[in-house]
Structure 1
């Protein structure tokens, strides 16, 4: 009986702890140049942002992704996405992200 009371008390304490959420707004400025490309942006962590680039076309594409988090220097990533595939790009910042701006520019390879 004592074990059950301790387990129940432990669960009650855990239930009272606040859950931390690190959701922040993400703005994506895209220049797809008529290509069949789509994206999904994610708030991976409080200081990490990522984007998944999906290529639905018949030609391979090269994409330049620029992550901007205000006062810090922008992080630039270049990814090659084969036809019918997807690739991810990620950037880690030294500060907590309040608002993330992503510039996505894709051109045919």
Structure 2
């Protein structure tokens, strides 16, 4: 029984598919916050929150390494939030997201 428990505890890290997410941001003085998520092993998403009083246009670039970067342009109204997602063909090992926002 002890051996079985040790084997199960050793396999526990294999069940998690979380990967590190690095976010580089350029907010240009806007009151913007974000939450990045590892949605699936080949999909990433980011929620952009606008706490300011002006609408924002944000460009989000998802970079997985050898694959071509995925670029999304989103409109974030004042006091609201918007999501952006990107799906890749390979399993993500490390996600790099560039977020740049400007007033509308």
**TM-score bracket relative to the smaller structure:** 0.7 to 0.9
* Corresponding position of 1:76: 71
Q: CA deviation at 1:74?
A: 0.1
Q: Counterparts in 2 of 1:58-77, with a 5 A limit?
A: 58-77=53-72
In the superposition, the TM-score normalised over structure 2's length comes to: 0.87
In structure 2, what is the equivalent of residue 100 of structure 1?
95
Pick from 36, 40, 46 the counterpart of residue 41 of structure 1.
Answer: 36
Could you say what the CA RMSD is over the residues aligned between the two structures, in angstroms?
1.4
Gap regions ≥5 residues in structure 1: 1-15
Between structure 1 and structure 2, the one with the greater Rg is 1
Q: How many residues align?
A: 95
Q: What runs of 5+ residues in structure 2 fail to find an aligned partner?
A: 1-7
The Cα of 1:104 is off from its aligned counterpart by: 0.1
